[in-house]
Structure 1
Amino acid sequence: MTATTKAPSAQEWVEAFTQANDNDPEIGAHGKYFTCSYLLDMEDHLFVIRMNAGKVAEITIDPGPLDVAYQFAIKASSATWREFGADMPKPMFHGIWAATFQRDMRLEGDILVLMQNLRCVTRQIELLRTTGIPCLNA
């Protein structure tokens, strides 16, 4: 039996994601140099996440194309992000590399910065299982 949960609003998600990240022991242990800005394109919403030493410094909701700079982007359909947010993701939705093999997820921009911060970004994607996904289309 599965329970249906309401998707959080974009602002509720920002607050939950910030708290989950900033209190996560794994990111705390690995995030000393996790300082970058990146875009999560969830189709229904865009988020630019600015990290500083493993803590969320700022999350901008739905910025315009020139409003906020970022170094790399992770883009996928809202359906893919919903699968990432499941308690037990289906095969090929458990990580960004698997999802890119399906060709629904794209990694763009300065991939070197992504690779330098891969462990922390991967952990942040895993946190979506607790914070939910702020997508409107179901």
Structure 2
Amino acid sequence: MLTTLHRMQDQLNRSEHLNRLGRLFSETVLLEVDGDEFYLHFEKGRLERVEPGPSRKTPWRFALRTDRAALEEFWKPIPKPGFHDIFGFVKIGRGRVDGDILSLVKNLRFFKEFMALARTDLARTDPAREGVSA
């Protein structure tokens, strides 16, 4: 998971489009996958660092909690219905969003596009997905 998050960090920090979308977003987000915690520290639309948890000392603005199988389905180039969106996880009972929901909603497009960055990465690196457009 950490390797994927670091690849997403590199993609985000090279993306002018996403940096522009997130230019007002400077928060720490908790991503919890199967109980493993990852703190994503964003600064003006850039992911400054990814810090593995758990940590009771690291404050976060909002959290996305899900399971690895759901996240892997979300990252497929063409996810199944319900796995196409972070709120889809919540609707089908495979995820939960906690904390300052207003902060998430204000930056929803940025965060959703950031979370989807692994889709293009997986399509590019997985030989089984050759020929499938991301």
Give the counterpart letter for 1:114 in structure 2. L
In structure 2, the partner of 1:6 is none
The higher relative CO (CA closer than 8 Å, separation ≥ 6) is in: 1
- CA distance 1:122–1:75, shift in 2 (3 Å): same
Counterpart among 47, 51, 56 of residue 38 in structure 2 = 47
Give me the whole-angstrom Cα distance separating, in 2, the residues matched to 1:80 and 1:117.
Answer: 22
Q: What do residues 12-68 of structure 1 show as CA deviations (whole Å, max 9, x unaligned)?
A: 22321111111123312211101111111111632110101100111101x124132
Any gaps of 5 or more consecutive residues in structure 2? 123-134
Quote the sequence identity (%). 24
Alignment match of 2:110 (pick from 79, 101, 120): 120
* Aligned equivalent of 1:29, options 20, 34, 37: 20
TM-score by length of 2: 0.83
Maintained 8 Å contact 1:44/1:78: no
Counterpart in 2 of 1:66? Answer: 56
1:131 shift after superposition:
4.1
Aligned partner letter, 1:103: G
Kindly state the Cα deviation for residue 128 of structure 1 after the two structures are TM-superposed.
2.2
Structure 1: stretches of 5+ with no match in the other structure: 1-8, 133-138
**Structure richer in helix, relative to its length:** 2
- Of the three residues 1, 7, 10, the one matched with 1:16 is 7
Cα-Cα RMSD: 1.6
C-alpha displacement of 1:94:
0.7
